[in-house]
Structure formats: C-alpha cells, structure tokens
Amino acid sequence: MSTVSPARPSAPGTSGDPAVPSAAPARGTPALARVVRRETHSPRTVAMFAAVVLVILALVYVGTEIVLSLLGAAPLLVAPGPAFGWVVALPTAEPAAAVIAGGVGIAVVGAVLVVLAVAPGRLPKHELQWGERAVVVDNGVIAAALAQHLSLETGLARDKITVGVAHRSIDITLAPAAGEPLDVDRVRALADAEIARFQLARPVRTQVRVARAPEQEWDR
C-alpha cells in the first residue's frame, strides 16, 4: 500500500499536473495493453534469484555429501545412504499426522515457488480509463490528490488526513481535533465521488476511519 500524508497536487489529470503521464492513442491495441502491463507489473527477479540460490546451495550440499561418502569421510550432517533410507521409509513412519503435515508444508512451499516463478509482481500504480488513451498513475499521486480534495471539501487540515492506496482498496484515516465536528458519511460520499472521477480501471474498496477515538471507526 502506498501511503501519503504531505501535500501533493490536487488531482491526477488536472491542468498543470506533471505527475500524470499518458501513452499513445489506440487504447484497445495489444501493443498498448503490453505497455500498460509493463508499467503496472514488475518481474519477480529478486524472488527468482533467491530461489535459484537456494536450489544451488542444496545441490552443492548433496554433491558434497556424496563425495564425502565415496571418500569414506564423515558426513557433514547425514550420509546419503541413511538419508535415502529415511525418505523411503517416510510413508510408513509414525506418527502419520506429522508426516502428512510435513508433506503439506512442502507442497505449499512448492506452490509458492511456482507462483513466484509464473506470476508477475505488481507495482504501486493504477491505470485510469481516459478514452482512447492509457494513463498510469502512481498510488502516491492518487492518495495525495484524494487527501487534498477531502481537505478542501471538509475544511479538515491537510495533515489530519492520511490516505493509503493499494491495488484493491483505498484507506482514509481522519484525525480531527477533539470536539471538531465531522460527518463521516459525507466524507465517504466525497471520497467515492472523487475516486469515480479518477476512472480507475480496476474497482477499489473504500475504507474511512476516524483516529480520534478507538470506538469511532467506520468501514465500508
């Protein structure tokens, strides 16, 4: 989630806002779709590198144990023969619940590695639907624009509004002074209207919270 507290431009796409880039027309073309995906997703380079390093270390360890066994030297941890026998005997080992739990854990780790290898990562950006043009905006710009709009509309100080923008949700935290009146329903309506004006390509869920007291919390 991208969270912004200091002041920023009033709204993405307004006149003179330098933070909103736009691509070439022909929004529906495959080429432009690839450009947008490249701007909003990132490769899993770090996760893939870490997985490759772990696999290499495991292979080096196995190779070292095999060489030590062939030379008749003491193993680092366990000799290949006993280790292989332990793996073969696992299906009949006791307690069976522990064996099943271990197998499930290994399967989960394998599934996570597969997902990391196949699925791309997401960058903190949102695509806006602006006619035939593709517009990609940082989450921080959207957060700052929304916070500034709410500050102007409600009269609440800008530093009392914190907006966090994630891929599927927008979290708004208000911190009014003690005794300062605040219509949360109106704030939610203002936020929904401004978010609709942004024309985000993917719908987001809005949450509005008041930090004045723990019991004063509203979620949508």
More confident residue, 112 or 3: 112
pLDDT in tens, 136-172: 888 889 999 999 999 999 888 898 999 999 888 999 9
Which pair of tokens denotes residue 35?
């450009």
129 within 8 A of 23, measured Cβ to Cβ: no
Quick one: DSSP state of residue 8? -
Tokens of 12: 């993405």
- CB 178, CB 17: distance < 8 Å: no
CA dihedral (204, 158, 173, 184) in degrees, to 10, reads -90
The size of the chain, in residues, is 220
Report the b/e string of 79-99 with b at 16+ CB within 10 A.
Answer: beeeeeeeeeeeeeeeeeeee
Element housing 41 (H / E): strand 41-42
Cα separation, 178 vs 219, whole angstroms: 21
What integer pLDDT is reported at residue 14 of this predicted model?
A: 47
Q: How confident is the model at residue 120 (pLDDT cuts 50, 70, 90)?
A: low
Picking from 207, 201, 216, the residue whose alpha carbon sits closest to that of residue 3 is 207
Asked if the model's pLDDT at residue 35 lies above 80, the reply is no
Query: Could you tell me the pTM of the whole model?
Result: 0.54
**Confidence at 91, pLDDT banded by 50, 70, 90:** confident
Task: Identify the pLDDT of residue 41.
Answer: 67
Residues 6+ apart with CB under 8 A from 143: 2, 3, 4, 8, 163, 164, 165, 170
Residue 75, preceding bond cis, omega within 30 degrees? Answer: no
Q: What is the mean pLDDT of the chain?
A: 76
Helix ranges (H only) for the chain are 30-40, 45-71, 80-88, 96-118, 139-154, 184-198
Under 8 Å between Cβ of 125 and 138: yes
Secondary structure class of 215 (helix, strand, coil): coil
Q: How far is CA 57 from the centre of its chain?
A: 29
Q: What is the band of 90 on the pLDDT scale with cuts at 50, 70, 90? A: confident
